Structure 1
Amino acid sequence: MDTNETLRTFEETENGGPSYWIGVVSANHVQRGVGGGFAQMCHGKAAPLRRMQPGDWLVYYSPRMEIGEGEPLQAFTAIGRVMDDRVYEYAMSATFVPYRRNIEYVPCQEARIKGLLDRLSFTRGQRNWGYPFRTGHFGISREDFLIIAEAMHVAIPLLRG
């Protein structure tokens, strides 16, 4: 089965279908999350994680390799599915206890946004296309999700239940 066929056969959840989200996080932090099977964004805030439901999909967009002044990247860097209802605190230090959410990441390749700007509904025709990313977390359409997943060479498996 090729990637496009797999994407077309993606099974939606009982509630009318999953929601699709973008989280904005530096690439090195995305790698930590992928390695640990969790999502963490917006400086550890719980609210964006609570908006997502089990079965929803999360795509990470990384403006830079490292937070702050890191090397520019402007690419989608990871994609995964929300596993459960659990939003939990995780002590990274005595003074930083961010919230996390369990994510099942799927194999993918980095995809630069530059080649997708005219294809995505939230960037098409927008001179200031980066504006939505400033929120750190936002919803996208199924169509936009599929365009990004295809660019990332993701074969989304049929997930039941």
Structure 2
Amino acid sequence: MPPRNWIAVASAEHARLGRDHRPLGFMQVCHGKRPPLQRIAAGDRMACYAPATVYGGTDRLQSFVSIGVVKPGLPYEFDMGNGFVSWRRDMHYAAAFETPIAPLLGAFEFIENPERWGAKFRFGLFDVSTHDMQLIARAMQADRQALGFQDLPD
């Protein structure tokens, strides 16, 4: 079965924490809930879209912050402190540059109504076509080989 492609929504601050974590990156979605992470399989691609720089922020960053591939393994709990325990998945993030979403809006297949393009992002995690993930990867100048796109046409 070919890998699926996902867009996750998080603040840039949270997405960068997962992307920059060592030795492995991680992802958390939907405020640390487990069920969304169970829909994702090892080898799936994920791009993280950040509507704002910080959680609850109003700065309208509206950018893709990270892109990568889900590592093998099940979701696991992580104690974030102060009584908050979230669920995570390990990720291999590709080298890429953060990029705004605005120039891509007219080319995405998943956007049904351009006037309400942000509606789909309210789900926190949704799947997209390989076409749309390749658009994001190109815009981010992401490492195509790390994402498994080396054998796919542009």
Report the TM-score, using the length of structure 1 for normalisation.
0.85
Q: Secondary structure at the match of 2:92?
A: strand
The runs of 5 or more residues in structure 1 that have no matched partner are 1-14
Q: Secondary structure at the match of 1:90?
A: strand
Q: Residue 123 of structure 1: CA displacement?
A: 2.4
Q: Is the 8 A contact 1:118 1:124 kept in 2?
A: no
Residues 109, 140 of structure 1: alpha-carbon distance in 2 compared, 3 angstrom cutoff? same
Aligned to 1:23: 8
Aligned to 1:5: none
Q: Is the 8 A contact 1:108 1:152 kept in 2?
A: yes
Match of 1:63 among 33, 45, 51: 51
Q: 86-95 or 73-82: which moved more? A: 86-95
Which structure exhibits the higher relative contact order, with contacts defined as CA atoms closer than 8 Å and separated by 6 or more residues?
Answer: 1
Match of 1:93 among 74, 81, 86: 81
Matched, 1:32 2:17: yes
Whole-Å separation in 2 of the counterparts to 1:119 and 1:77: 19
RMSD: 1.3
Aligned to 2:151: none
Structure showing greater Rg: 1
The residue type paired with residue 78 of structure 2 is Y
Whole-Å separation in 1 of the counterparts to 2:76 and 2:48: 20
Report the TM-score, using the length of structure 2 for normalisation.
0.89
Aligned to 1:75: 63
Aligned to 2:115: 127
The number of equivalent residue pairs is 144
Whole-Å separation in 2 of the counterparts to 1:108 and 1:49: 23
The runs of 5 or more residues in structure 2 that have no matched partner are 149-154
The residue type paired with residue 100 of structure 1 is R
Instruction: Give the % identical residues.
Output: 38
Q: How does 1:134-149 map to 2 (within 5 A)?
A: 134-149=122-137
Match of 1:155 among 122, 134, 143: 143
Whole-Å separation in 2 of the counterparts to 1:18 and 1:69: 33
